[in-house]
Amino acid sequence: MPLLTPGQNLDDVISPLNRQVTRLRRASRSLVDNLIRQWESDFDLLWSNQGGVTPAQRLAELGTDGGELFSHSTALVTFLLTELGSQDPDTSARIQAKVASMPAITVNQNGTVSIG
């Protein structure tokens, strides 16, 4: 059927299998993009002075949850950098730059986090 035929439906051209595989391919990248956006948003919130609240104040308020937060964040960054690898060097570099910009922290035995 010619491409300009009135009423042509792309569903007639694209097989259900192709449509499903395309959705899966897009979903994989979409999931990674959502993880990156959320991680960057949380990172920026933690390390900013937003609303007159300092990172030290946030970490103090997190208390023993702070250590877990950093454990999850480290695991997520490792996953993202491993998965992105050379496929998306710009995003990998952006994540690495954010991590490098962090001040030194200490996760104490009780799970609290200290800056410096």
pTM for the structure as a whole: 0.81
Q: Per the domain annotation, does 111 fall within a domain?
A: yes
Q: Per the domain annotation, does 6 fall within a domain?
A: no
Q: Nearest 5°: CA angle at 83, between 103 and 29?
A: 110
Q: Per the domain annotation, does 86 fall within a domain?
A: yes
Per the structure, the complete domain to which residue 78 belongs is given by: 12-115
Work out how many domains the chain is built from and give that number: 1
Q: Per the domain annotation, does 7 fall within a domain?
A: no
Q: Per the domain annotation, does 5 fall within a domain?
A: no
Question: What are the CA-CA distances from residue 112 to residues 38, 47, 64, 66, 70 (Å)?
Answer: 23, 16, 4, 5, 10
Q: For the segment 43-102, what is each residue's pLDDT rounded down to a tens digit?
A: 999 999 999 999 999 999 999 999 999 999 999 999 999 988 888 999 999 999 999 999
Residue found under tokens 């730059």: 97
